[in-house]
């Protein structure tokens, strides 16, 4: 009986413990002055604001563990193109610069990292966690298409783990009077 009680308490403590990746020492980000002085910066800002600050409508938003501190992957593409493999996608990817992503919007902080850096955090802490990534930022004159994902980084300590959660959506924006306005959600999915 005592052994069973001990195991039950131990199991509860393990399952209720806070993930390590949310600790400040892992959420170390460069603090850059963010000024909206380009279409790219305005669209990144408005997409993040909609996804996790105001509308909070990115699929599986509720599964983000720390909604006030969110990792953002730096890799993205600026053209719609089919890539047969992930390595092909990576070869053609561009990277957001630290001054192109806001440090925070209202009470939500953002930390820009490469996929490699995010994987390193997951491996070091043995934690799996959700992060945001821009898969597409396509700007054409007065129209823009933004594909933003809410996906898992899986620690190499859990190689057989896969999630049936996360997702993303495609946002359409239109430029009017030098200002990007949200038009509609073109598509959304849950993994």
DSSP string computed for 131-164: EEEEEEEEEETTEEEEEEEEEEE--TTSTT---S
List, for the chain, all residue ranges whose pLDDT scores fall below the cut of 70: 1-26
pTM: 0.85
Residue 20 is predicted with a pLDDT of 53
Would you say 29 and 103 are in contact if contact means Cβ atoms under 8 Å apart? Answer: yes
Residue 19 is predicted with a pLDDT of 53
Residue 191 is predicted with a pLDDT of 82
Residue 27 is predicted with a pLDDT of 75
Residue 13 is predicted with a pLDDT of 47
Backbone angles phi, psi at 61, to 5 degrees: -55, -40
């Amino acid at each position: 009986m005592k052994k069973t009680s001990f195991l039950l308490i131990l199991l509860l403590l393990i399952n209720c413990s806070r993930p390590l990746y949310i600790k400040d020492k892992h959420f170390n980000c460069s603090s850059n002055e963010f000024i909206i002085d380009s279409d790219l910066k305005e669209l990144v800002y408005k997409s993040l604001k909609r996804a996790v600050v105001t509308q909070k409508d990115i699929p599986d938003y509720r599964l983000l563990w720390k909604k006030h501190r969110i990792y953002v992957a730096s890799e993205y593409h600026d053209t719609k193109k089919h890539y047969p493999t992930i390595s092909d996608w990576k070869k053609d990817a561009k990277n957001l610069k630290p001054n192109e992503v806001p440090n925070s919007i209202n009470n939500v902080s953002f930390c820009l990292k490469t996929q490699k850096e995010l994987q390193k955090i997951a491996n070091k802490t043995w934690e799996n966690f959700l992060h945001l990534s821009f898969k597409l930022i396509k700007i054409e004159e007065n129209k823009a298409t933004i594909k933003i994902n809410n996906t898992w980084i899986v620690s190499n300590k859990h190689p057989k783990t896969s999630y049936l959660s996360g997702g993303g959506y495609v946002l359409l924006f239109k430029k009017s009077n030098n200002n990007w306005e949200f038009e509609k959600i073109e598509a959304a999915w849950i993994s």
